[in-house]
């Protein structure tokens, strides 16, 4: 059964799951699901599938959420205008953030209703146990995104009926995180191991997914406590415990070739490392935005690169691109060895940044910052190369998934939490080096880069934190992690400030980062500059840009919040 498409025969059931549009008067209270409507395991499965389908909607990770996650960090930019402009140019408002907010509250409504349904039904206890586990996971997943994006948010923990209070206030940050932790622990106790989930249910939550997300949330909450001058040690310690639980379960591996993670022909095998992802599949019943396919290939690949999407001629749109400084940075330091013709890059560079392609006329296309080849078509920016699907149905209907958390991140979570507790100990460095060891395997021909950090290193805690930040920047580019890392990780020298403040207000404004994007200078056979920054991305102030604005509709329609309780600066 395809869990990512609505089942037309059971559409009325799935509509009922959308009973909560948000926490405002804008809710559409249809009814409360009852055992009369959902009477067997097939009906229950349809409800669960509909809850997962919330996430691959255009209002969520497929498009609106993608823009929020990708374009507000320091590594990607867009000059495409239209819907992309408010995020790329930092001119957004609460009008631009409503759809992602609403979609998460749809999911929360589905989870709450699912928990009530399970209580009311009399089915196989194992089926009910797993259904409840998925409900707890989906609710925690939704609140974890909400609290990181918007800060304090309304906590709704019961299924909606006619007697429900539709106007909930924003709950304190601590309460929201406490609920996330509690839900993920309940999910972990009820969900099956990844190895016990049938192949046809790829993408459903597992025990490992709950524990991985819990490790991530504990680390993030510890970061928040630290920035506020609190004591985060308990949270960091717990983050290590849950990270170790995932690692030691032996349910997941770092697959040998980094490139295979993003090869659609090997997608099922990628989930030996991908602990949880948002699943997209080419949808033959629908097309374009309403389809269950993704549009990452369209957005990340350039219009002159053919054979990369399901679009006519297989081209992209180039809506979202890496900033030149990022592509240049990962050709320096630990990520390169040798010079000129003998230069060898970290293999992840060749996957994360699309090196060269073919145009619709068959000529070679060279991407920034490469210079090799005379008379070629040149794209004056790097491209993210992780999302390619020449077999998609159309430009917005491809099969590339969105990876939420992978085993590589679990090793880096462990390294970071241990570093925050005790500095760069041998155990912390060993966890970090696991990710580099896989990178060195390349595509079957091992490389010397990136080298392990040696046991004899002299890094301070702040320096090792920066190493982790940089490593995450290459490992997860285009996977929606960078903005979260910027706003949760600590400034290199000021424990009261974030990495976001360091990058946007101190580092990138420096003169060594040109504010004019590069152009090809044919006469000199070189690009006009390097390490360039998209200037409009620097239009930030703090604390305003450490959170997204609460949707304007929510503020206007929910008197328990009101316009006066918008996030600072918005």
* Local confidence pLDDT in tens for the 570 residues of the chain: 343 333 322 333 333 334 333 444 333 333 444 445 788 888 889 889 988 999 999 999 999 999 999 999 999 999 998 999 999 999 999 999 999 999 999 999 999 999 999 988 888 999 999 999 999 999 999 999 999 999 999 999 999 888 788 899 999 999 999 999 999 999 999 999 999 999 999 999 999 999 999 999 999 999 999 999 999 999 999 999 999 999 999 999 999 999 999 999 999 999 999 999 999 999 888 888 888 899 999 999 999 999 999 877 899 999 999 999 999 999 999 999 998 888 999 999 999 999 889 998 888 999 999 987 766 889 999 999 999 999 999 889 999 999 999 999 999 999 999 999 999 999 999 999 999 999 999 999 999 999 999 999 999 999 999 999 999 999 999 999 999 999 999 999 999 999 999 999 999 999 999 999 999 998 888 999 999 999 999 999 999 999 999 999 999 999 999 899 999 999
Q: Which helix (H) or strand (E) holds 471?
A: helix 461-475
Instruction: Please give the backbone phi and psi of residue 258, each rounded to the nearest 5 degrees, phi first.
Output: -55, -35
CA distance 305 to 309: 9
DSSP structure class, residue 441: T
* Token pair recorded at residue 27: 């809710």
pTM: 0.93
Q: Rg of the chain over CA atoms, in angstroms?
A: 23
Q: Provide the residue ranges of all domains of the chain, joining segments of one domain with +.
A: 1-169+540-570
CA distance 468 to 454: 15
Class of domain 1-169+540-570: mainly alpha
CA distance 426 to 414: 12
CA distance 184 to 136: 7
* Residue corresponding to tokens 């507000």: 72
Instruction: Please give the backbone phi and psi of residue 436, each rounded to the nearest 5 degrees, phi first.
Output: -70, -35
C-alpha triplet 49, 51, 53: angle, nearest 5°: 70
* Token pair recorded at residue 387: 């999302």
Pairing outcome for strands 364-367 and 377-379? parallel
CA distance 209 to 197: 12
* Token pair recorded at residue 101: 């907010």
Q: Say whether 557 sits in a helix, a strand or coil.
A: helix
Q: Which helix (H) or strand (E) holds 116?
A: helix 98-120
Other C-beta atoms within 10 Å of 41: how many?
14
Q: How far apart are the first and last CA of the chain?
A: 44
């Amino acid at each position: 059964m395809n869990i990512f498409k609505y089942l037309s025969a059971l559409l009325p059931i799935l509509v009922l799951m959308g009973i909560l549009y948000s926490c405002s008067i804008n809710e559409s209270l249809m009814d409360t699901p009852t055992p009369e409507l959902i009477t067997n395991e097939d009906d229950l499965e349809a409800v669960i599938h509909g809850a997962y389908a919330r996430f691959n909607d255009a209002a969520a990770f497929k498009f609106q959420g993608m823009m929020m996650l990708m374009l507000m960090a320091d590594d990607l930019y867009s000059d495409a205008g239209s819907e992309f402009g408010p995020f790329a140019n930092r001119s957004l408002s609460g009008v631009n953030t409503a759809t992602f907010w609403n979609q998460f509250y749809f999911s929360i409504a589905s989870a709450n209703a699912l928990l009530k349904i399970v209580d009311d039904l009399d089915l196989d206890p194992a089926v009910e146990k797993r259904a409840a586990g998925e409900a707890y996971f989906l609710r925690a997943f939704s609140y974890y995104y909400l609290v990181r994006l918007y800060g304090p948010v309304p906590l709704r923990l019961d299924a909606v009926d006619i007697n429900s209070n539709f106007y909930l206030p924003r709950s304190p940050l601590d309460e929201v995180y406490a609920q996330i932790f509690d839900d993920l622990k309940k999910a972990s106790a009820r969900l099956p191991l990844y190895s016990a989930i049938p192949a046809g249910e790829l993408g459903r939550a597992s025990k490992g997914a709950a524990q991985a997300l819990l490790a991530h949330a504990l680390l993030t909450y510890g970061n928040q406590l630290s920035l506020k001058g609190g004591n985060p040690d308990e949270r960091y310690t717990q983050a290590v415990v849950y990270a170790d639980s995932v690692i030691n379960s032996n349910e997941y591996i770092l697959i040998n070739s980094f490139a295979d993670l993003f090869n659609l022909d090997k997608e099922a095998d990628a989930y030996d490392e991908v602990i949880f992802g948002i699943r997209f599949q080419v949808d033959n019943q629908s097309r374009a935005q309403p389809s269950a396919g993704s549009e990452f290939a369209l957005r990340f690949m350039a219009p002159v690169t053919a054979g990369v999407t399901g679009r006519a001629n297989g081209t992209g749109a180039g809506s979202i691109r890496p900033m030149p400084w990022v592509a240049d940075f990962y050709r320096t330091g630990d990520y390169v060895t040798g010079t000129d013709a003998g230069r060898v890059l970290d293999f992840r560079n060749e996957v994360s940044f699309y090196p060269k392609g073919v145009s619709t006329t068959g000529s070679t296309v060279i991407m920034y910052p490469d210079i090799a080849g005379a008379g070629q078509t040149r794209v004056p920016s790097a491209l993210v190369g992780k999302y390619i699907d020449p077999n998609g149905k159309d430009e917005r209907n491809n099969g590339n998934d969105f990876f939420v958390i992978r085993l590589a991140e679990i090793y880096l979570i462990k390294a970071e939490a241990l570093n925050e507790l005790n500095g760069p100990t041998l155990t912390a460095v060993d966890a970090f080096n696991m990710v580099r060891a896989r990178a060195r395997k390349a595509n079957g021909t091992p490389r010397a880069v990136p080298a392990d950090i040696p046991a004899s290193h002299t890094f301070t805690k702040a320096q090792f934190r920066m190493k982790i930040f940089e490593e995450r920047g290459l490992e997860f580019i285009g996977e929606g992690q960078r903005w979260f890392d910027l706003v949760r990780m600590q400034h290199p020298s000021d424990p009261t400030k974030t990495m976001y403040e360091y990058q946007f207000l101190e580092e990138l404004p420096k003169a060594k980062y040109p504010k004019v994007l590069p152009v090809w200078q044919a006469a000199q056979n070189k690009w006009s500059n390097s390490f360039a920054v998209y200037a409009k991305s620097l239009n930030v102030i703090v604390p305003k840009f450490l959170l997204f604005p609460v949707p304007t509709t929510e503020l206007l329609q929910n008197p328990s919040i009101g316009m006066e309780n918008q996030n600072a600066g918005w």
